[in-house]
């Protein structure tokens, strides 16, 4: 009886793990990396600066280079939470393994 209960619990745990780990980042066409922002607020600020154009757009582009890390295309991630703009993720493999941050919606698969 105990063996059957243990097997059922183990199977359920493996199933939950497999479902939660099937995501990866996907670079937009023409690029090979995806930006990982520290949080959604930083993503929104950089995005708004870049859309202003002119000197503010240049500042947004420079800020993006300093604030965001770059993940290789197809890096496996775990989604912690998500909304209409993107998702808070944890990197599962590669040089940034274990780091958490925000990724834009179009860069998730």
Q: Is the pLDDT of residue 12 over 90?
A: no
Q: What six digits make up the tokens of 95?
A: 């040089």
| Tens of pLDDT, residues 13-72 | 555 555 555 899 999 999 999 999 999 999 998 888 877 777 766 665 666 777 899 999
How many Cα atoms are found within 13 Å in the side-chain-facing hemisphere of 63?
17
| pLDDT score of 67 | 85
More confident site: 81 or 11: 81
87 with 105: CB under 8 angstroms? yes
At residue 87, what are phi and psi to the nearest 5 degrees? -145, 145
Other Cβ atoms closer than 10 A to 36: 24
SS3 content of the chain, % helix, strand, coil (to 5): 45, 30, 25
Query: What whole-number distance in Å separates Cα of residue 45 and Cα of residue 37?
Result: 11
Other Cβ atoms closer than 10 A to 106: 11
| pLDDT score of 21 | 55
Which pTM was predicted?
0.74
| pLDDT score of 54 | 72
């Amino acid at each position: 009886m105990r063996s059957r209960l243990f097997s059922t619990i183990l199977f359920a745990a493996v199933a939950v793990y497999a479902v939660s780990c099937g995501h990866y980042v996907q670079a937009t066409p023409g690029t090979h990396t995806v930006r990982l922002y520290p949080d959604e607020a930083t993503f929104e600020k950089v995005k708004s600066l870049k859309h202003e154009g002119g000197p503010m757009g240049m500042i947004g582009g420079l800020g993006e280079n300093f604030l965001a890390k770059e993940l290789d295309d197809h890096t496996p991630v775990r989604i912690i939470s998500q909304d209409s703009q993107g998702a808070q993720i944890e990197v599962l493999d590669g040089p940034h393994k274990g780091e958490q941050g925000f990724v834009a919606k179009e860069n998730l698969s």
